[in-house]
Structure 1
């Protein structure tokens, strides 16, 4: 893990040039879809916000590798949109899933990407939903394609999504990791599960200042209270160029 200190992420997002290639309502549509996901399954919505925020941390260190911030946030917020079509009982199951249930859960990348495509989202957002469970060396799902076949933003979403899943509480099927443990796991899986460049970027981007902003430096007993209520709207508002979020 890098020991370099970084300015607060909010300072990096004070001035974001608009991208003329993005539709004007992209950000508002993303928030409407996130709101629908929150009504269906709040933990998935909170997870998606955390992934978007981690992606912003990565973008703030190497923006040229990831592109427009609003597009990055949309990819993070909506990568799990397909879970909107899964029953809550399945999403909250505190037991090992049956083969049929596992197959149903593994459909969420396809249903999410098809929904986003039908709504006219850019390919980077659509493919982030479709491919965020693929692996750098192949063997992920739904297609098993290798990381070199994936768009750069998709490869960033893969590592951000996995990192956030490792540190989140409330996952009955396994113990959540501390931030330090999760960063070590990202490093260990660099070149196998994760694109080495984006794995290194995540580890470097999550410097001490950002960890404090995100509430990731709390002890395990406190993390639920801090992270469960984590809505870093001041960061997302700047990236989305929107008025204050309704939550």
Structure 2
């Protein structure tokens, strides 16, 4: 029996197609005696947990794009779009970080790693040690993504400076600069807020939608890998 776990996520409310890896995983659940005997099987819970977070990532990306479309013509729209972009980006980064945390938890549970719940995270060096010790082939597949994981976690940790108040943007570009400049956020490491209070600096700024374009294929690749592991588990 199919579980349709992906229909209990934001994909249900979206025009975005459900990634094929989740459809295929539910096809497997349909054929799995273990899942059919236990509707609340851990594999289904893990699958839905991963899917709902990926759906949230895509939902926030849509909201960021929609904000600039909706507030493109009316008076004061530049400020509205910039405010909404920042608010939705906080949600986007939170969803992406949560997807990684859920991914580490999934691997720890699927492969029965001897880790406490708080230790099931890609941030934890012992997580990687346990994974390579017990499942070297699995470790090899995920270790290749470790630099990407670190990038996502770093963005999430550095929101205070990477998503600065609009006054910083006005100071750097001028209050009457192009609308697109005020939709951008800082793509810089090791920046402290006091550094942004003086004269305009040569800093790297990034449109959040370009960040999503960069991350989405890798996040989907992560979901595909996890679906493979969940399928083997069930």
> Which TM-score tier does this pair reach, normalised by the shorter chain?
under 0.3
User: TM-score, normalization: structure 1?
Assistant: 0.26
Bigger share in helix: 2
Flag the structure with more relative contact order, 1 or 2, with Cα contacts below 8 A and sequence separation at least 6. Answer: 1
User: TM-score, normalization: structure 2?
Assistant: 0.27
Q: Which has the larger radius of gyration?
A: 2
